[in-house]
Amino acid sequence: MSAEATLTVPARYNGPRDSGQGGYTAGLIAMRMGELAEVTLRSPIPLDRELEIEELDGEGLRLLDGETLVAEARPREIDIEVPAPVGIEDARLATERYRGSADTPFGRCFVCGPGREDALGVMAGAVEGRDVVASPWTPGPETDVDGSGRAAPEFVWAVLDCPTYFALYPGTLPISFLARFAARVDDLPELGSEHVVMAWPISKDGRKHLAGSALLDGDGNVLAVAEALLIEAKEG
């Protein structure tokens, strides 16, 4: 099997403690498609294991771990209305309201986990007076995979993922998993520049919760947007 027909998620890019971060993995898959995509996650994402990429009649991809279906991707245009931008200072203040904990199943997530020192530090908290959460984010050299001076798209997908959980659950912290993720990256963020990641609820239907998120530059310009479907675990 050629390298182009496989994908590996390194262990350092986990979300839950023992599986890949959903947004990061979805971004890797979308980059293989080379176009706007919606990625549906079907099972936990294995770490440090070569996964097979299978084309779907020229209209998408499947990611397989042996016989296990890990994810599916289909082309999709993304058009999301972004709320009024959150400024950097308000985003900094919002992180003081971050409700994540190192003791949760996601406490060592490489994007938002307070239980690890090398996390990207996107710890979104409530913005006072608004139904949005936000966090500043300054892309570091670890996100620049090609020497361009900008964060790679998969890291943009990653930081757009985690804040959606906190936007959907402002008063509780249930176990809820990313089931479907779609993003559009219009411009890549520059390394060393402070940006804002914000997220907001869109709709709820039983255990299914839909949220939007966006990455903004320091002037409030939208660089990327995403839509996330999270499914809350059944009680018991």
Record the tokens describing residue 185, joined without a space: 């990256």
Q: Does residue 56 carry a pLDDT above 90?
A: no
Per-residue confidence (pLDDT) for residue 4, from 0 to 100: 62
Q: Does residue 113 carry a pLDDT above 70?
A: yes
Q: What is the mean pLDDT of residues 68-97?
A: 96
In percent, the amount of the chain with pLDDT more than 90 equals: 86
Alpha-carbon span 94 to 32, nearest angstrom: 35
Per-residue confidence (pLDDT) for residue 76, from 0 to 100: 92
Alpha-carbon span 132 to 125, nearest angstrom: 8
Per-residue confidence (pLDDT) for residue 2, from 0 to 100: 39
**Computed from CA positions of residues 61, 35, 111, 230, in that sequence, does the dihedral angle turn out positive or negative?**
negative
CATH fold group of domain 88-232: Thiol Ester Dehydrase; Chain A (3.10.129)
The per-residue pLDDT for range 164-216, each reduced to its tens digit, is 999 999 988 898 999 999 999 999 999 999 999 999 999 999 999 999 999 99
CATH fold group of domain 3-75: Thiol Ester Dehydrase; Chain A (3.10.129)
In the chain, which segments carry CATH 3.10.129.10? 3-75, 88-232
Alpha-carbon span 112 to 121, nearest angstrom: 6
